[in-house]
Amino acid sequence: MMTTLLLLALPLPAVPASTTFSAAALTPVLLQDADMKEKFKEFGKILKDDGGEPEAIGMIDEFTKAYREADLRYQNLLESLEFEPENEKEVKLEIKSLAKEKAAIAETVFSCVYHTKRKTITKDNLNMWKAAAFSLGQMGTDGAPYLWQTFEDKRKKKFKDEPDFKALCLEQIGYTHAYQDFTEKLVDLLDHHEYLFIAKAAEALAQFQEAPGALRFEATETLVKLLAEYYEATITDKEDIEAQEKYRKVGRSMMNALESLTGVSQSQPLDWVSWWNNEGKKTDEIWVDA
């Protein structure tokens, strides 16, 4: 199990910036094969039967690899359009097809989370759902909405007594780099009654270091304000056990997020306030888009 989860957490393959692409030279990938729909059906059958969680996790691993390959080809094809290939029409059609296939893979992986035959919280089911969360974390903007849906758990209330699993989904949103849709949502969670969710929201934001400057500015402003607030509560009343516990659980994660989003390091929470007022919000270079 641990091997599978570690594999699912690996980053997407990087494409060298200097690479020149020829659409005709790109190698077809697994998702172009006709048997992918059969794999989706096989996954559905496994979910309907009792047991089968190890097999389901194995298939989630396969889907994750297939998504990575499809996404790499998708990104390569997008870049190839800059060179105005002769087969531009075909390239655009394949880009559209790959986008649909990537979305279908993410939807299929997510299907195990609220499957009608998987309503019971068991150790085996929970392991499968964790594998799905790690997988969706590798699926960019295709995976992020499903992770958020599972974290919110509004309609089913299935995971109301599973804060650790919900926190995992929250943390994995950071790895999707879905900045545009989720920066504000994560920032809002920095002021939450559940300390674990504050910490995981901050950890997710720490993965957004390449987000547009305006989004990083927004997140940094709130992080500085709330970090100082949570810290000051611990020194105002040293007998306030709740305040001590809150800062202990969230402080380090929030400071890590600030360092990641700004490229600046400060040793103490109140140092961040001084930096923000004197330099941070006034230094345009920090907020230039990556």
Question: 157 and 29, same structural domain?
Answer: yes
pLDDT value at position 33? 55
pLDDT in tens, 193-217: 999 999 999 999 999 999 999 999 9
Predicted TM-score (pTM) of the model is 0.87
- Residues 26 and 117 grouped into a single domain: yes
Identify the domain boundary among 139, 158, 176.
176
Q: Quick one: pLDDT band at residue 12, thresholds 50, 70, 90?
A: very low
Lowest mean pLDDT, pick from 6-20, 205-219, 261-275: 6-20
Q: Which structural domain, as residue segments, surrounds residue 231? A: 179-290
In 3D space, the residue among 241, 287, 250 whose CA is nearest the CA of residue 269 turns out to be 250
Same domain, 74 and 153: yes
Say if residue 50 is in the same domain as residue 71: yes
> Quick one: 110 and 35 in the same domain?
yes
Q: pLDDT of 122-178, one tens digit each?
A: 999 999 999 999 999 999 999 999 999 999 999 889 999 999 999 999 999 999 999
Q: What pLDDT, on the 0 to 100 scale, is given for residue 34?
A: 66
Three-state DSSP class for residue 121: coil
Residue 248, SS3 per DSSP: helix
The amino acid present at 49, given as its one-letter code, is D
Taking the C-alpha atoms of residue 55 and residue 69, their distance in angstroms, rounded to an integer, is: 21
pLDDT in tens, 69-97: 999 999 999 999 988 888 999 999 999 99
* Structural domains in the chain (count): 2
Q: Say whether both 260 and 278 belong to one domain.
A: yes
| Beta-carbon contacts of residue 81 (< 8 Å; ≥ 6 apart) | 88, 91, 92
Examine the domain organization and report whether 172 and 183 are in the same domain: no
Give the up-direction half-sphere exposure of residue 231: CA atoms within 13 A in the CB hemisphere: 17
- Please name the residue that has the structure tokens 């659409």: 23
101 and 171 fall within a common domain: yes
Task: Please report the pLDDT score of residue 238 as a whole number.
Answer: 87
Residue 233 burial by CB count (10 A; 0-12/13-18/19+): exposed, middle or buried? middle
Q: Does residue 158 share a domain with residue 26?
A: yes
In this structure, are 4 and 40 located in the same domain?
Answer: yes
User: pLDDT, tens digit, for every residue of 39-69?
Assistant: 999 999 999 998 999 999 999 999 999 999 9
Residue that finishes a domain, picked among 176, 206, 224: 176
Q: Are residues 17 and 70 in the same domain?
A: yes
- pLDDT exceeds 90 at position 29: no
